[in-house]
Chain A
Amino acid sequence: MIKTINILFSNQVSLYCYNSNNILKTVNNTNLIISKALLKDISIFGLKNNIHLNLLLSDNYLSEEHKSIFKNNSYSVTYKLAHNKLAHNIDDTSSILVYDLSDEFDFLLSKRPIKYSNMVIRITKNRLNSILDIFSKVIEIADRVNFIHVDLPEYTSSEFDVYKKQLEQISDYLSHKIFALNYMELNFLTDRLLLFNHNNCNAGIDHITVGPNGKCYICPAFYYDNPENNFGDIYDWEIPNTHLYEFENCPLCKMCDCYQCKRCIYLNLTLTGDVNIPSKQQCVLSHIERNASMKLLENEFINKNDFYPIYELDYLDPLDLIKGTKSISLDDRAKHVANILSAPLKNYNKMDIIEAIYKIEPMMLTKIKEILCNGNVRDSNGIR
């Protein structure tokens, strides 16, 4: 169910996710700002449907006139995202600051007077080897840092090797720092430690995006990629095959324990052709991060009891379990996947787990009994 609508205030709003700036070129260069009438309609829609509104601003200042639209007509609203230049002047620590790495990055950092809750740093492949350096600077001014790989589709084994080494170095750095700091989060290293299920992006499931043209999109990247590729407008919209955006209909992700992976829908569609299938690059990147988190857990400074276990894997792409060099039988695959996915349940006793299953779906126990109590007696066609 859609709970949030992201509103692109203009067609100049910065990208804050796994999408190259190249796709910005497809949108008209003239500055298109969302109309006040449309903003008012969206705010009323949010009010009537209990939908939170998230206004994405970037380098556009929001006038008092714009803010007044939401005052009496909205359920709830936040103003998020401030890009390089504007970020320099933002004093609202709850805003998400988005930085594209550029020459002025250091200058901007040096000007930060206060600590921010959330920063997004969009990194390109030619700066991968400076992640540790960048991280050591931003760690003092943000509670949480999200590194986003802007040109992930172009990554090959050499980029992944550089990234892996950087993560190892950051892991060493962080393990010493983690107690010196009150608490800090780094999306590619600490998220996996704190999660026991997938932290999906959930675009198309619990949020959609409205462009400055009033059309609806799965996320901002779809607008920038092709404004014609929308699924209606705020007055009449329907996401076709919406079930494919849900985790349970993603056959590869269901076998994976890279819980920190965003499973970017836009990248899925552009790289593999299907919204529910991740690219090789997405899977390898997420597994490198997952493995770095696992190594971090081995560090003597970490109290392992504070975190769920992460098991060693001998692959970076779960597709290998099905069609690749690690291909194993159906039963062995089921055993392996069940093992890694149930790691957070390792210390719970059997009766607690069975009781939880019953509370969720009593019939599930019936099905489990059918499998375990009946055995697997089948004829040659696989029929019991």
Chain B
Amino acid sequence: MDKENYLDKPQQWKEGRALTITFIVTEDCQLRCKYCYIQKKGNNNKMSLYIAKTSIDYILKNNVLFPEQSVIIEFVGGEPLLEIELIEQISDYFKTQMFLLDHPWFNSYRINISTNGLLYNDKNVQRYIMKNKYHINLTISLDGNKEKHDLQRVFPDGEGSYLKIIGNFILFLNQFTDGRTKVTVSKLDIPHVADSVLHLFSLGVKFVDINCVFEDVWEIKDDLLFEEQLIKLADEIIDKKMYINYSCSFFDKTIGKPMDSFYDNENWCGAGKMLAIDPRGGFYPCLRFIQYSLKNRKEKLIGDAINGINTNKLRPFKLLSRTAQSDHECVTCSVARGCAWCQAENYDCAKSNTIFERSKSICKMHKARVRANNYYWSKIGEPV
């Protein structure tokens, strides 16, 4: 089969080389998703405009520390759209300052927002989207079909949120024809994986970005059930020739191969290459290193809006590589390619205060994915 006959995964903007600056505008959220990494939900910490402006001033005046040619301004929460007015003020200030300082980012920026979708049709949200329509990239977390979505993404009273957001999700797809969603798979979701991906295809999502959680939730035989689901999904996609117009990140021709210790030694995770700013103005290598995301360890602060970045605290992140944090089993694994990790989860689960110890909770799930992936490409006629 020719490559042109199946939909490949989308390319990253600027080949992933843009700096991502994440503003955690609020820690509040209407939902209490069961798999959410935020440990203490429901607090009301919100970012002030002063903190946001001070952070932006520091970042734009320190080009040496941020040499990237492009920037992604990201807004997350909690639920970021709860603070749409603040988001608009921050965006306007960022754009104005980039213009006034003749900063190279002025002609090369994107705005990313990850939302639960509940407020997507709010008039202020819609106005903001229209105002920034040539720069905005929005992701609504729809977790698949109603069964899977409502298993995890629930209100504080336990009610599922699917019916509350599905209308907004359709509106979103009408406004963004290549609109995407980020799907997360935890233990309870496994029986719904195949139907969920197919459901999203049926709604018009062309590329489903999906991954298993990195936390240690997996039990014996979960990998076999997961593989079963992926085989079912593969059969549906191939038998109905859906691969021409749709794709799912679980199936990827490049994964499941050994990796060279010298040439394939990049860190998987982008922690340290991005900057996350919490409501108090603390700087972090990624939002997962903020205290509210960690179960066992202290947060990893690398600076703050007032004092700037402590470059010593960034050094370990700049030196992270695959082999520096992997044990012998992982380094020599015959299916290592595509096996992901979350740096903060590694840190949170490590035996000591280090980011150089890789959590292996996902190992069996990755191997199951590789087996299903081999099946997929073999059946499609292009064995990996």
Chain A interface (Cβ within 8 Å of chain B)? 240-241, 244, 249, 251-252, 269, 271-281, 319, 322-323, 330, 334, 378, 381-384
**Nearest CB in chain A to that of B355: its residue:** A274
Decide if B131 is an interface residue (CB 8 Å cutoff).
no
Most chain B beta-carbon contacts within 10 A, residue among A271, A277, A334: A277
**Nearest CB in chain A to that of B324: its residue:** A251
Given A241-B352, A323-B318, A381-B254, A249 contacting B263 (CB threshold 8 A): no
- Cα distance A279–B312 in the bound complex, in angstroms: 6
Asked whether B312 lies within 8 Å of A271 as measured between CB atoms, the reply is yes
- Other-chain contact of B263, A251, A273, A275, A382 (Cβ < 8 Å): A382
Known contacts A249-B356, A269-B353, A381-B254, then 15 further A-B pairs from the complex at CB < 8 Å, ordered by chain A residue: A241-B350, A241-B352, A244-B357, A251-B321, A252-B319, A272-B313, A273-B313, A277-B316, A278-B315, A280-B315, A319-B318, A323-B318, A381-B337, A382-B263, A383-B257
Query: How many B residues touch A, CB cutoff 8 Å?
Result: 27
| Prevailing SS type, chain B contact patch | loop
Asked whether B354 lies within 8 Å of A275 as measured between CB atoms, the reply is yes
Given A240-B351, A275-B354, A383-B257, A378 contacting B318 (CB threshold 8 A): no
- Cα distance A274–B354 in the bound complex, in angstroms: 6
Q: Which residues of B contact A281 (CB under 8 A)?
A: 312
Most chain B beta-carbon contacts within 10 A, residue among A280, A319, A378, A383: A383
Decide if B262 is an interface residue (CB 8 Å cutoff).
yes
- Cα distance A251–B262 in the bound complex, in angstroms: 13
Closest-CB distance, B270 to chain A (whole angstroms)? 14
Interface residues of B in 348-384 (CB under 8 A from A): 350-357
**Nearest CB in chain B to that of A254: its residue:** B324
Asked whether A322 lies within 8 Å of B354 as measured between CB atoms, the reply is no
- Cα distance A383–B254 in the bound complex, in angstroms: 11
Most chain A beta-carbon contacts within 10 A, residue among B321, B355, B356: B356
- Cα distance A279–B315 in the bound complex, in angstroms: 7
Asked whether B257 lies within 8 Å of A244 as measured between CB atoms, the reply is no
- Other-chain contact of B300, A252, A273, A383 (Cβ < 8 Å): A273
Asked whether B321 lies within 8 Å of A272 as measured between CB atoms, the reply is no
CB-based closest 6 A-B pairs: A240-B352, A240-B351, A241-B352, A274-B316, A277-B316, A271-B312
**Nearest CB in chain B to that of A239: its residue:** B352
Q: Which residues of B contact A241 (CB under 8 A)?
A: 350-352, 354, 356-357
**Nearest CB in chain B to that of A276: its residue:** B356
Decide if B311 is an interface residue (CB 8 Å cutoff).
yes
- Other-chain contact of B353, A249, A273, A322, A334 (Cβ < 8 Å): A273
Asked whether B324 lies within 8 Å of A382 as measured between CB atoms, the reply is no
Chain B interface (Cβ within 8 Å of chain A)? 254, 257-260, 262-264, 300, 311-313, 315-316, 318-319, 321, 324, 337, 350-357
- Cα distance A280–B312 in the bound complex, in angstroms: 6
- Other-chain contact of A274, B257, B264, B351, B356 (Cβ < 8 Å): B356
Closest-CB distance, B86 to chain A (whole angstroms)? 31
**Nearest CB in chain A to that of B318: its residue:** A323
Asked whether B263 lies within 8 Å of A322 as measured between CB atoms, the reply is no
Closest-CB distance, B300 to chain A (whole angstroms)? 7
Q: Which residues of B contact A330 (CB under 8 A)?
A: 262-263
Asked whether A244 lies within 8 Å of B356 as measured between CB atoms, the reply is yes
22 A-B pairs with CB atoms under 8 Å apart are: A244-B356, A249-B356, A251-B324, A252-B315, A269-B353, A271-B313, A272-B316, A273-B313, A273-B316, A273-B355, A277-B315, A280-B311, A280-B312, A281-B312, A319-B318, A319-B319, A323-B318, A330-B263, A381-B257, A381-B337, A382-B260, A382-B263
- Cα distance A322–B321 in the bound complex, in angstroms: 11
Given A241-B350, A241-B354, A244-B354, A272 contacting B315 (CB threshold 8 A): yes
- Cα distance A259–B66 in the bound complex, in angstroms: 32
Q: Which residues of A contact B315 (CB under 8 A)?
A: 252, 272, 277-280, 319
Closest-CB distance, B189 to chain A (whole angstroms)? 31
- Other-chain contact of B319, A271, A275, A322 (Cβ < 8 Å): A322
Closest-CB distance, B127 to chain A (whole angstroms)? 41
Asked whether B324 lies within 8 Å of A249 as measured between CB atoms, the reply is yes
- Cα distance A273–B355 in the bound complex, in angstroms: 9
Q: Which residues of B contact A251 (CB under 8 A)?
A: 319, 321, 324
- Cα distance A236–B357 in the bound complex, in angstroms: 24
Q: Which residues of B contact A274 (CB under 8 A)?
A: 316, 353-356
- Cα distance A271–B258 in the bound complex, in angstroms: 36
**Nearest CB in chain B to that of A334: its residue:** B262
- Cα distance A251–B319 in the bound complex, in angstroms: 7
Closest-CB distance, A376 to chain B (whole angstroms)? 9
Q: Which residues of A contact B318 (CB under 8 A)?
A: 319, 322-323
- Cα distance A271–B318 in the bound complex, in angstroms: 15
Q: Which residues of A contact B351 (CB under 8 A)?
A: 240-241
Q: Which residues of A contact B313 (CB under 8 A)?
A: 271-273
Q: Which residues of B contact A273 (CB under 8 A)?
A: 300, 313, 316, 353, 355
